[in-house]
Amino acid sequence: MNNKKIAILGAGPSGLAQLRAFEAARLNGVENLPEIVCYEKQSEMGGMWNYTWRTGLDKHGEPVHGSMYRYLWSNGPKECLEFADYSFEEHFGEPIASYPPRAVLKDYIIGRINKQNISQYIKFDCPVRWVTFNDETKMFTVTVMNHKTGKQEVNDFDYVVVATGHFSTPNMPYFKGLEDFPNRVLHAHDFRDALEFKNKEILLIGGSYSAEDIATQCYKYGTKSITISYRTQALGYDWPEGISEAPLITHFEDEIAHFADGTSKRFDAIIMCTGYLFHFPFMPDPLRLETNNCLYPENLYKGVFWQSNPQLIYLGMQDQYFTFNMFDAQAWYARDVMLGKIELPKLDIREKDEKIWLDTYSKVQTVNEEIDFQAAYIRELVDATDYPEFHVEKQGDIFKEWKKDKKGGIMSFREKAYRSTLTNNMAPELPQPWLEILDDSLEHFLHISFEKETNSIPKK
Ligand code: FAD
Ligand code: NAP
Ligand code: MG
């Protein structure tokens, strides 16, 4: 038995990727696997993909992790996030449409884990409280609160894998006069159900994915008017009547927002779609990642190993075009380092490597270049391990189509279909216009997807 011990913090897609990577090694006959414990704050796995009705604090008084909401559908094609070792077709029995709702993606993520019986390594209801590193023993000490026993637990580990996500702690800016705004003010993190805003006039602040998605959701479920206020650049879609864009707010006066172009409007609610803070309250300063949301955070070798102490690993800390397959690529690479299969170079070489990536990244300007940059990053990781080969560059091309398809119709792009790079099969079209599918449950999606053509219940 390899007597190394590994703590994985978080059982969302990144933490589960790490568990699956070790399981794949075990199934391939690798012996001497380390002892692994995964600490998860929630009572179930799936991370961000668990819908919760709670906001604020959870049942144990911990900050609620979830930022997802009812009626959320994937905003990117599923063909670009397919696990290379577990296709959608393997999970659902037949091809499904390219943009599934949240519950369908959650079912897929959990399917791969349940199939391998991996959940035995996860300790639920265990938020991590504090991590330290001892320079003499070269071990981490991890303190967690075990809400199941009501006691704190302290254990030592050779490696710590931080997989706690970075889309959970709201970035909440201030605008003059906000304290006197008499109606509701919330962050996208606490948005749960568009029906709350039916027939209302709402203001969304922010110019990225949360703003565009909450705008389209609210339109779909009957919000009267939606104004999106951007700081840097308008989203610029061909919006339907009822959605419009405005420049940044200068100040609020009672219920009225004043914009930089001199216009103003009254609102029933403000939703800050202003992104998230990287927040690791359990990490001391020398070990804590500090970055904005970008494609290559600094101080991480290969985007994962903490430069000054590579026994500390951060997964999934990049801004994300690619998601699940990128987390896998990182987790397989990190696994091989932890197993001693890949030897890390010395610090100066690691820093040179990081600098090369950062220099390349500094020249990236367009969305297409960003997609290629992230694909190249994943390619390098995948080539170094036995993670199953997959066509990450072709998936990049699908992302470029996705971008055009969104431009072509922000309310209808989810009706487009793409070809799986794993199975080479084309996805079926969404059976109805996205705007007309109000029930986002797994059951309803499978019902409308399969009933007409096959009359069969897909095998799982
Ligand atoms: P998370 O999924 O955030 O998981 C982190 C886990 O760590 C959670 O389970 C959390 O409970 C746990 N944790 C946190 N703190 C602690 C602690 N102190 N101790 C123990 N456990 C802790 N991606 C897509 O591919 N497609 C989409 O359509 C898409 N939509 C999104 C919509 C929204 C609103 C948001 C916010 C994100 C979306 N994403 C989407 C991105 C999403 O974040 C990733 O798909 C994925 O969930 C990231 O996985 P992760 O494991 O890195 O982080
Ligand atoms: P984000 O992509 O980090 O964008 C944050 C936005 O907030 C930016 O437009 C930024 O403007 C703006 N902002 C920040 N501070 C501001 C300020 N002080 N004043 C005005 N604007 C400010 O965050 P996000 O949009 O929340 O997306 C996070 C993740 O969630 C993404 O990975 C996304 O894919 C995912 N998501 C997915 C779905 C879905 O799948 N359906 C839905 C929602 C979110 P600047 O451009 O000026 O910096
Ligand atoms: Mg390989």
Per-position pLDDT tens, the chain of length 460: 468 999 999 999 999 999 999 999 999 999 989 999 999 999 999 999 999 999 999 999 999 999 999 999 999 999 999 999 999 999 999 999 999 999 999 999 999 998 888 989 999 999 999 999 999 999 999 999 999 999 999 999 999 999 999 999 999 999 999 999 999 999 999 999 999 999 999 999 999 999 999 999 999 999 999 999 999 999 999 999 999 999 999 999 999 999 999 999 999 999 999 999 999 999 999 999 999 999 999 999 999 999 999 999 999 999 999 999 999 999 999 999 999 999 999 999 999 999 999 999 999 999 999 999 999 999 999 999 999 999 999 999 999 999 999 999 999 999 999 999 999 999 999 999 999 999 999 999 999 888 754 444 444 4
Q: Which ligand is nearest to the CA of 275?
A: 2
Note the ligand closest to the C-alpha atom of 246.
2
Q: Which pair of tokens denotes residue 375? A: 């694909």
CA–CA separation, 433 and 446 (whole Å): 15
Distance (Å, rounded) from C-alpha 88 to C-alpha 77? 12
Burial class (CB in 10 A: 0-12, 13-18, 19+), 366: exposed
Nearest CA to ligand 1 atom 26: 74
Pocket of ligand 1 from Cβ distances under 6 Å: 9-15, 39-42, 47-49, 65, 67-68, 74-76, 81, 127-128, 163-165, 167-168, 282, 316, 320, 323
What is the CA(348)–ligand 1 centre distance, in A? 32
Q: State which ligand 2 atom lies nearest to the alpha carbon of 207.
A: 9
CA-proximal residue: ligand 1, atom 14 (nearest) = 164
Distance 250 CA to ligand 2 centre (A): 20
User: Length of the chain in residues, anyone?
Assistant: 460
Q: Which of 45, 48, 82 to mutate to test the pocket of ligand 1 (most atoms within 8 A of CB)?
A: 48
Ligand 1, atom 5, residue with closest C-alpha:
164
Rounded CA separation 390/372 (Å): 15
The ligand 2 atom at the shortest distance from the C-alpha of residue 323 is 32
The alpha carbon of 166 and the centre of ligand 2 are apart by a number of angstroms equal to 12
Distance 98 CA to ligand 1 centre (A): 21
Q: Which ligand is nearest to the CA of 342?
A: 3
- Does residue 318 have its Cβ closer than 6 Å to ligand 2? no
Query: What domains does the chain contain, in order, with CATH numbers?
Result: 5-45+113-168+276-390 (3.50.50.60), 178-272 (3.50.50.60)
Ligand 1 center to 229 CA (angstroms): 26
Atom of ligand 1 nearest to the CA of 127: 19
Pocket mutation for ligand 2, best pick of 231, 248, 326 (most atoms within 8 Å of C-beta): 231
What residue owns the CA closest to ligand 2's atom 41?
75
Ligand 2 in reach of 188 Cβ (< 6 A):
yes
User: Nearest to residue 333, comparing CAs of 31, 10, 2, 17?
Assistant: 17
| Whether 132 contacts 140, CB under 8 Å | yes
For ligand 3, the distance from its centroid to the CA atom of residue 247, given in whole angstroms, is 46
Specify the pTM.
0.97
The number of the ligand nearest the C-alpha atom of 395 reads 1
Å from CA of 380 to ligand 3 middle: 9
